[in-house]
Amino acid sequence: QQQVKQSPQSLIVQKGGISIINCAYENTAFDYFPWYQQFPGKGPALLIAIRPDVSEKKEGRFTISFNKSAKQFSLHIMDSQPGDSATYFCAAGGAAGNKLTFGGGTRVLVKP
């Protein structure tokens, strides 16, 4: 059972554009929702994370929007740059131990 569904699988955006990635979860016990960025051959790096007590969190060009009732959350990358080209994973976890379930990933390509 895939508990975290991520879309789209891939995304092409022009430099300066907005990249939007969506995730939906099923388990209402999840209360920690991070986004990770992964470059080829490297481990994932934490970008930004949110907990259910807020509906939006912004850090620089990255914004998470969270809809608890719909069990959905999304990542917006503003002013996308070629260096943002990577695979992005959403994840969801519970409070105990931060055991994470990952979405399927989105490959983002930012064209100059």
Partner 1 sequence: GAVVSQHPSWVICKSGTSVKIECRSLDFQATTMFWYRQFPKQSLMLMATSNEGSKATYEQGVEKDKFLINHASLTLSTLTVTSAHPEDSSFYICSALDRGRTGELFFGEGSRLTVL
Among 46, 59, 78, 79, contact with partner 1 (rule: CB under 8 A) = 46
CB of 26 to partner 1, least distance (A): 16
The values of phi and psi at residue 83, to 5°, are: -70, -10
Nearest-CA neighbor of 62 among 39, 42, 38, 88? 88
Is 1 a binding residue for partner 1 by CB under 8 A? The answer is no
Q: How far is CA 33 from the centre of its chain?
A: 8
Of the pair 9, 14, the CB lying nearest partner 1 is at 9
Is 51 a binding residue for partner 1 by CB under 8 A? The answer is no
Is 30 a binding residue for partner 1 by CB under 8 A? The answer is no
Among 25, 89, 92, 108, contact with partner 1 (rule: CB under 8 A) = 89
Of the pair 46, 54, the CB lying nearest partner 1 is at 46
Q: How many Å is the Cα radius of gyration of the chain?
A: 13
Q: Are 106 and 21 contacting, i.e. CB atoms less than 8 angstroms apart?
A: yes
Q: Are 75 and 88 contacting, i.e. CB atoms less than 8 angstroms apart?
A: yes
Enumerate binding residues for partner 1 (CB under 8 A): 34, 36, 41-46, 49, 89, 93, 97-105, 107
